[in-house]
Structure 1
Amino acid sequence: MKTYLAIMNPENPYTFSTDQKSRYDDTGETPTGKESYYIESKKFPEQTSIWGMLRLLMLEQAGLLHSNFDYSEQESESIKELIGAESFDFSSKGEQDFGKLLSISPVFLCEYGDNGEVQYIVKNPKCNICKKGFSGLSMKEICGETDYGTIHLPDKYEGKTGPAEGYINLTTHKCYSDDDLFKRVVQTGNRKNKNGNLIDKAQKSKAFFRRSEYVLKKGERSNRCFAFFVKTNDVILRDDIVTVGAGKNIFSIRFVEKEEDLEGLVRKLGDNSSQVWGYALSDIVLQEVPKYDDFVMVDMRFVRNIITKAYKDKLSYHSRFSRTPERTVLIQRGSVFYNNCFKISDDEAGKSKNLKKLGYNKIIVIGGDNK
């Protein structure tokens, strides 16, 4: 088995789609999300986007990628052995086989200087009560009665301040806001057909759009990139240029053979604390909105899974893609859980091991004896 630190640098401003504009052209598919002339972007790629990019890269580097996606039976077997026979599916109840691509970690930010030192930046735990470092929120020993039942309550909590936001450097414990790390760029354009004409002349207003994009800001003495760990069954990954997401964002990617050390650095946040809590290093995938039996600080969002159909079905390019109408519940990274709230069962976590392979459902226990 080989483990790599993958460092992914955006070559241009990037955009990662939300539920907006989720209908694919030429499919006749009913829209499943909001349609707006203003297209918003997420700051981070989805784990599924990283997974799809890696599968495509492995095919390309193995010489098994055809532009027309038309393969012989022997080539199809080689592809199945390398990356598995099917795409990831949130709703799959059985364990999926992804060939020699074993797993990836949650995506995070990294910054590295001229000396080659790499430092990791993750979502600031919502329980951080220090603005220039890290100090975790402690719970009172005695429980209190609330509208949600009898639960532990914070010892010192400023309601007007609210939960911590932004990001934290796991080496220096320096905190960053979104504006410290990301620059937002707004592009204006119009949708045209292959002949260069507006798609809808009768309703020209529908042809125009505005799209937000992001650029990673450089540090004072360092560059910032996206990063993640990837494990393969002895597949050698080489530096390359890749596209990520439906927007075909261009990234340069390099692979450094290195043992995973991200989780250990996260646990060090609790080195000086006896309080035990769970930290969502990744997004947590659930089948429904959970009910908690103790104090939590969480944000939630929803996603839809993209399903791809094989080339052998003889469909046009866009017709091979569709978004599931059902939305999956995600607790966002950076959320924190006290006492037993972070012990999510396999049934609640998606009924399979597939989620953890893609870097979802990674909860790190911090504090107490978890050094």
Structure 2
Amino acid sequence: MGKYLVKLKPVESFFFGGERGFDFYENDTKAKNNIVKSKEFPQQSSILGMIRKEILVLNGLLNEKWDYPPHEKEKMEQLIGKKSFNITNPTDDFGIIKTISPVFMVQETQSNDRFLIKIPKDHNQNKDSEKYDPLNFNDSKGSYLKVKTNLSKEVYLPVNFDSKKGLSEDFLDIETGEILAQDKVLIKDSSIGIKLDDNHKTQNYSLFRLERYKFNYDKNYEKSNKCFGFILDIDEKDQPITFNNYKNIVNLGGESSYFSMSFENINFDLKDKVDFENKKNILNEPYCKIILLSDTYISKDAYEQNCIYSISKKIDFRTLSSENYNSNKEKGKPYYKRFEKSKNRYSLLEKGSVLFTNKDRYHELIESINNSNFQKIGYNIFI
């Protein structure tokens, strides 16, 4: 096995698209949108596709026309699997790719790398605390409020969370618990323009704004000291070529977003860095708490039956797939034009969401989140 810390340093500002572009479909009806905003993180399925492509590049197997003889197809299937990620397929195989961690942010310093994630959503943005305490709803004084719902159920609400203040958009150093304000990590990079038709004339409602992101770099530090990162477990045991010290420029996301990618051998996992991981096991109060380190898929029934209370946000998710191995109609089409967007749209709980349950429902909720198909590529990771 080879375990790598993969870093993605943006060449310029970057854009990660969502469900709504300038033209999008809502209830099968085409709609217009004049303001398009980037997401802060790329989708895990995009990271998977990027790594699969790089494996082919590393092994000299990427053909732009995707026109391969049988023996090369067999080699490709051994390296990256047969098909793209499918949310409904519980047995996805991606060849030598074993696991991908959730994407986080890396702040490089002269001594070591600091790993940053979105702060759990039970922390309010206006609180004075400089550090995050995962048990802030449940201290020795019993800082929770017991209320009864319309269904005569008892619900314990965390007192230290004030819903009127909204959800924090800050970041958290997962080793020290230090909180970094969002604008200390990311800066919005907006551009405006006017759309023209094929005759180079102004269209109606043609004014648009595109909001990208760039990292807020420390001007006192000699190099660009923030980037994206994730941990890749890959089976290189029988491979003559490895990713050790491999570098490349890759395209990830939209609007011509390019990144400098590097690989570094490591011997730790993401959860090894989470200093507050074991604290959740000492809860002796009526509630158990689950923090989502990644975007997470859970069925509506399991969520409603076992999650008594949550502080969360949802994001839309739709896969891209390319059945390029067996489809004659795709023969000769360039690699980048062979992808088709799934017709099914799903809702995921956004990373940083916090779920509360009681001891009776805790294991059922955990079981519904544990999904090896998702966890293999960095979804459904929690503590």
Flag whether TM exceeds 0.5 (same fold): yes
Query: What residue is the counterpart of 2:148 in the other structure?
Result: 145
Letter in 2 for 1:358: I
Report how far residue 113 of structure 1 moved.
Answer: 1.7
Matched residue, 1:210: 209
1:304–1:327 Cα contact (<8 Å) kept: yes
Q: Aligned match of 2:227 in 219, 225, 228?
A: 225
Mapping for residues 81-230 of structure 1, pairs under 5 Å: 81-92=78-89, 94-115=90-111, 117-128=112-123, 131-135=129-133, 136-139=135-138, 140=142, 143-147=146-150, 149-189=153-193, 198-199=197-198, 204-205=203-204, 209-219=208-218, 221=221, 223-230=225-232
Q: CA deviation at 1:181?
A: 1.1
> Residue 284 of structure 1 aligns to a residue in which SS?
coil
Residue by residue, what CA displacement relative to the aligned partner does 1:78-99 show, whole Å, maximum 9, x if unpaired? 110000010001122x311110
Gaps of 5+ in 2: none
Work out the CA distance in 2 between the residues paired with 1:89 and 1:320.
16
List gaps (5 residues or longer) in structure 1: 25-29, 193-197, 365-371
| Structure 1 stretches of at least 4 aligned residues deviating more than 6 Å after TM superposition | 30-33
Do the aligned partners of residues 200 and 106 (structure 1) sit closer, same or farther apart at CA in structure 2, a change above 3 Å counting?
farther
Task: Measure how far apart 1:230 and its partner are.
Answer: 0.4
The alignment's TM-score, normalised by the length of structure 1, stands at 0.83
Aligned counterparts of 1:51 and 1:165: Cα–Cα separation in 2: 26
Mapped to 1, the partners of 2:46 and 2:211 lie a distance apart of 19
1:313 equivalent in alignment to 2:328: yes
Cα distance between partner residues in 1 of 2:64 and 2:23:
24
Q: Which amino acid aligns with 1:257?
A: N
Cα distance in 2 for partners of 1:33, 1:267 equals 47
Distance in 2 between residues matched to 1:217 and 1:359, nearest whole Å: 26
**Structure 1 residues 93-136: Cα deviation after superposition (integer angstroms, max 9, x where no partner):** x3111100111000000111234x10100111123365311223
**Conserved in 2, the CA contact under 8 Å of 1:188 and 1:211?**
yes
Shift of 1:229: 0.3
Structure 1 residue 175, shift from structure 2 partner: 1.2
SS in 1 for 2:344: coil
- For residue 17 of structure 1, what is the amino acid of its counterpart? G
User: Is contact 2:217–2:226 with CA below 8 Å preserved after alignment?
Assistant: yes
2:16 paired residue number: 16
1:22–1:32 CA contact under 8 A, matched in 2: no
How much is the aligned-residue C-alpha RMSD, in angstroms? Answer: 3.1
Tell whether the 8 Å contact from 2:82 to 2:93 is kept in structure 1 after alignment. Answer: yes
Give the C-alpha shift of residue 286 in structure 1.
2.5
- Counterpart Cα distance in 1 of 2:280 and 2:295: 26
- Superposition deviation, residue 205 in structure 1: 4.0
- Closer, same or farther: CA 43–32 of 1 in aligned 2, 3 Å: farther
Q: Shift of the alpha carbon at 1:243?
A: 1.2
d(CA) in 1 for partners of 2:260, 2:68: 28
Matched, 1:281 2:299: no
SS of corresponding position for 1:50: helix
> Structure 1: how far apart are the matches of 2:145 and 2:21?
49
The alpha carbon displacement at 1:310 in A equals 1.3
- The counterpart of 1:322, out of the listed 321, 327, 340, is 340
1:304 maps to 2:318: yes
Do 1:21 and 1:33's aligned partners in 2 also have CA atoms closer than 8 Å? no
User: Deviation string for 1:201-249 (max 9, x for gaps)?
Assistant: 5763477643221101113547011000001011521122111124442
| Structure 1 residue 268: Cα displacement | 2.5
State the distance in 1 between where 2:172 and 2:163 align.
21
Q: Which range moved further: 253-262 or 354-363?
A: 253-262
- Greater displacement, 80-89 / 239-248: 239-248
1:264 paired residue among 264, 272, 295: 272
